[in-house]
Amino acid sequence: MRLLLRDARGAFGCMVLLVALVCAVAAPLVTNAAPNAQGDIVATRFVPPLSRDVHGAFHPLGTDRFGRDVWTRLIYGARVSLGVGILAVLVSLALGVVIGAAAGYWRGPVSVSLLALTDFALALPRVVLLLLLAALWQPSTLLVIVVLGLTGWMGIARLVYGEVRSLAPRAFVEGAVAAGARKWRILRRHILPNAMTPVIVAAALGVGNAIVLEAGLSYLGLGVQAPTPSWGNMITSGSDTLVNAPWVAIAPGFALVLVVVACTLLGDALRDVLDPHARG
């Protein structure tokens, strides 16, 4: 951990993600407005950033066309965007680890069929699949999480498979076999903990990717539905008012880029720190 923070990329990534997470969790403390409340629309819409509306309320990032405070929506949107990203990656992680470990540990037909499934899923055009799944069922936040999770596990399965394959013949595993431990226990207690390094890195990168895809689906109107704010649907609503109120679209985009960059840098730094070979 100390090594990670000494790395400039790791420190930056941790800091940005920590700030974003704290803001998201403590949303009611960071802002005192309600994200979906529409008060006096005519008087308070399109207030530019860093100014006060007629009622004296201060808007650090301005207001949108319904007079809603952009900063407040950004913070509550972080709850949705980060939440969806993290939960989707957890779904992918669970699927990927189970499938990868099973394929790596039980050789023969199990391994062959699981690997074939992985290759097949890897070859599916992800965005097309996302569009289909999201458009065919009633769009909702839960659906987005499931869909992103279901289409993101293949890379992780590949990684786990490779690690398990290389760990299985090692002496400490054979020791456990000789001690009479059962297969499940060996896999869970001895092999998987040692196989987690690349998985953690992939998860960090995956969160960034999932956030971008969630925003993309919401942007096309197939993801998180209004009035619940997500960074994606905030960009959509901002794109309609790009001329008179560009800040409505700019703010969530900036937040998105910042968080995704943080995830990528953290992933890179983690890889260097966790893998002593790559440290060189």
Partner 1 sequence: MLARLGHRLLAGLAVVLGVVTLTFLLLHVAPGDPVRLMLGPRATAAQVAAQRRALGLDASLPQQFATWIGRFGRGDWGTSIASGQPVRALLAKAWPATAWLVTLSLVISYLIALGVGALQAARGGSRLDTLLSVTSVTLFAVPGYWLGLMLVLVFTYWARLLPAFGIAGLDADYLHGPSWLLDRLRHLALPLATLTLIGIGGAARFVRGAMLDTLHQPFITTAQAKGLTPRHVIGWHALRNALTPVVILLGLSLPALFSGAVFVEAVFAWPGVGRVLVEAVRARDYPVVMAAVTISAVLVVAGNMLADVLAAGLDPRVRAHRATP
Please report how close the Cβ of residue 245 comes to partner 1 at its closest, in angstroms.
Answer: 11
Question: Judged by CB, which is closer to partner 1: 199, or 262?
Answer: 262
Please report how close the Cβ of residue 217 comes to partner 1 at its closest, in angstroms.
Answer: 10
How many Cβ atoms from other residues are within 10 Å of residue 149's Cβ?
A: 22
Question: Judged by CB, which is closer to partner 1: 155, or 190?
Answer: 155
**From the CA atom positions of the chain, what is the Rg in Å?**
22
How many Cβ atoms from other residues are within 10 Å of residue 188's Cβ?
A: 13
Question: Judged by CB, which is closer to partner 1: 33, or 61?
Answer: 61
Question: Judged by CB, which is closer to partner 1: 159, or 187?
Answer: 159
Please report how close the Cβ of residue 151 comes to partner 1 at its closest, in angstroms.
Answer: 11
Q: Round to whole Å and give the CA distance between 41 and 65.
A: 8
Please report how close the Cβ of residue 62 comes to partner 1 at its closest, in angstroms.
Answer: 15
Question: Judged by CB, which is closer to partner 1: 144, or 176?
Answer: 144
Question: Judged by CB, which is closer to partner 1: 15, or 29?
Answer: 15
Question: Judged by CB, which is closer to partner 1: 109, or 169?
Answer: 109
Please report how close the Cβ of residue 258 comes to partner 1 at its closest, in angstroms.
Answer: 8
Please report how close the Cβ of residue 172 comes to partner 1 at its closest, in angstroms.
Answer: 31
Residue 224 Ramachandran class (φ > 0 left, ψ -120 to 50 alpha, else beta): beta
Give the contacts of 54 (CB within 8 A, at least 6 positions apart). Answer: 40, 43, 44
Interface residues with partner 1 (CB under 8 A)? Answer: 120, 123-128, 131-133, 135-138, 208, 212, 215-216, 219-220, 235, 238-239, 242-243, 246, 249-250, 253, 256-257, 260-261, 264-265
Beta bridge partners, 51, equal 59
Please report how close the Cβ of residue 66 comes to partner 1 at its closest, in angstroms.
Answer: 20
